[in-house]
Amino acid sequence: MSKKGMMVILSAPSGCGKDTVFREISKIRNDVCESISATTRNPRNGEIDGVSYYFKTVDEFKKMIENSSFLEYVCYNGCYYGTPAEPVRNIINSGKICFLIIEREGAQKVMKSNPDAVSIFLLPPDLDTLKKRLIKRNTETEDAISNRLEIAKEEIKCSDLFDYVVVNNELKRAVYEINEILDNELKKRNS
Ligand code: 5GP
């Protein structure tokens, strides 16, 4: 019997280190892939179209909505973000683990439409640490950072809706815990 793939939703407030955690996991496992989202926000320095995101105009994004191209999409912090459905299906059908690294509202939509998905919420050690991380990233205005912190407070309230909650206090520890979750979930599905 061929090995089954699975969908993993990794959600966390912006600045919690979801991308870093995924990067570390992909260094130690060769069965994980990341879904590349589409967004209407402007690229940041160093971001590459088709690698970091598919950068779209609002019109292009709306066309994709009309064509039912998204597994989920949201308007977050004034911009659209969405998960193209087909690549996710292809990754899972190939027997791999497809990570959706998305904010809470989109995560909840996917949890509803795909009850088989494993959902993980990454928590910052505290809001002060999160604020410092957002400031250190130096990619956002003060207003945008305050807005992201307000969104973060709301997102954290919903963390108990997820299958697993992992605190990203120490990167190595968080990666270890998520790696264990993946192994256990795969064992359940393939036994
Ligand atoms: P950023 O602008 O910092 O790249 O992303 C802002 C937030 O949107 C982050 O929490 C990120 O995980 C989330 N995000 C990225 N892509 C998607 C997506 O396709 N759908 C949803 N719902 N959120 C996304």
pTM: 0.92
- Tokens, residue 58: 């609002």
Could you give the 3-state DSSP secondary structure of residue 185?
helix
From 34, 102, 137, give the residue whose CB has the most ligand 1 atoms within 8 Å, as the site to mutate: 102
Which residue's CA is the nearest one to ligand 1's atom 22?
106
Across residues 50-64, what is the average pLDDT? 98
Specify whether the CB–CB gap between 6 and 92 falls below 8 A.
yes
Sign of CA dihedral 46, 49, 52, 54: positive
Residue with tokens 């994004």: 61
Find the residues whose C-beta lies inside 6 A of ligand 1.
14, 18, 37, 41, 72, 74, 76, 81-83, 101-103, 106
**pLDDT single digits (tens) 155-171:** 899 999 999 999 999 99
**157 burial type by CB count under 10 A (0-12 exposed, 13-18 middle, 19+ buried):** exposed
pLDDT at 2: 62
From 51, 76, 99, 104, give the residue whose CB has the most ligand 1 atoms within 8 Å, as the site to mutate: 76
